[in-house]
């Protein structure tokens, strides 16, 4: 991915113009979305305490969106967004700023749906991957780190390909100790159904 210093004013203007109207500050154009996915992967790996030696975005040759090498082990990293589509559409069409308040049941159900969609061995490209991380990215205001930890307590999702998963949040200011992670992530508990070698 390009260094931040390489981005000029015209590119910045194009990036702003490509932002999805009404929600999440996510980009609709492929090139800028690729950068977001790369940044999401880097932030999630860091928040999970995984020191990666290399991280690359795979472009259109996905899934997975990214590849990382952690302690000499090759990881696939797939990014997916958790957002309420109806709320986003309301923001775009009305200019208002409503926010979805997710109940625990609704949240767990949506996370389960996203995991099921992304846990698709037949669609996997590249590899082989010893580990496969699904990063569920969200900017939903109600879903704070504390809320996510509460909602995910005692919950486990079944997978055949995905070995690791987390919910990754946007920027969170540091607390009084100044040591909290600015882009926190909360691990999702998984139950593996088959070995990854059977899912390539």
Quick check: 123 pLDDT over 90?
no
Query: Which of 58-62, 78-82, 123-127, 178-182 has the least mean pLDDT?
Result: 178-182
Question: What is the C-alpha to C-alpha distance for residues 52 and 73, in angstroms, rounded to an integer?
Answer: 9
Q: For residue 167, give the H/E element and its range.
A: strand 164-169
Mean pLDDT of the chain: 81
Closest alpha carbon to 119 in 84, 157, 152: 157
pLDDT bucket at 185, cuts 50 / 70 / 90: very high
For the chain, the straight-line distance linking the first and the last C-alpha, in angstroms and rounded, comes to 27
pTM, rounded to two decimals: 0.78
Q: What are phi and psi of 100, to 5 degrees?
A: -80, 130
CB 26 within 8 A of CB 85: no
Query: Which of 91-100, 121-130, 137-146, 147-156 has the least mean pLDDT?
Result: 91-100
Q: What is the CA radius of gyration of the chain?
A: 17
User: Any idea which residue has 């950068």 for tokens?
Assistant: 35
Quick check: 131 pLDDT over 90?
yes
Please report the sign of the dihedral spanned by the C-alpha atoms of residue 88, residue 93, residue 98, residue 100.
negative
pLDDT bucket at 11, cuts 50 / 70 / 90: low
CB 112 within 8 A of CB 152: no
Q: What is the mean pLDDT of residues 43-49?
A: 95
Question: What is the C-alpha to C-alpha distance for residues 125 and 114, in angstroms, rounded to an integer?
Answer: 19
pLDDT bucket at 118, cuts 50 / 70 / 90: very high
Write down the domain spans for the chain. Answer: 4-198
Closest alpha carbon to 33 in 76, 72, 66, 5: 66
Quick check: 20 pLDDT over 70?
no
Give ∠ CA 110-116-117 in degrees, rounded to 5.
90
Q: Give the Cβ contact number of residue 48 at 10 Å.
A: 18
């Amino acid at each position: 991915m390009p260094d931040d210093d390489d981005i000029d004013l015209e590119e910045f203007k194009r990036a702003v113009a490509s932002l999805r109207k009404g929600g999440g500050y996510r980009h609709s154009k492929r090139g800028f979305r690729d950068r977001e996915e790369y940044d999401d992967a880097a932030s999630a790996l860091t928040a999970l305490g995984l020191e990666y030696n290399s991280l690359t975005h795979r472009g259109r040759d996905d899934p997975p969106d990214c590849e990382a090498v952690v302690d000499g082990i090759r990881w696939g990293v797939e990014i997916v967004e958790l957002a309420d589509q109806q709320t986003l559409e309301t923001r775009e069409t009305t200019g208002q700023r409503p926010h979805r308040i997710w109940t625990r049941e609704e949240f767990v159900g949506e996370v389960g749906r996203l995991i099921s969609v992304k846990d698709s061995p037949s669609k996997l490209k590249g590899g082989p991957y010893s580990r496969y991380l699904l990063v569920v990215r969200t900017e939903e205001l109600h879903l704070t780190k504390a809320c996510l930890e509460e909602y995910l307590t005692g919950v486990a999702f079944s997978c055949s390909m995905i070995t690791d998963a987390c919910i990754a949040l946007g920027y969170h200011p540091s607390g009084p100790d100044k040591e909290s992670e600015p882009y926190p992530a909360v691990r999702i508990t998984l139950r593996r159904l088959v070995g990854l070698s059977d899912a390539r």
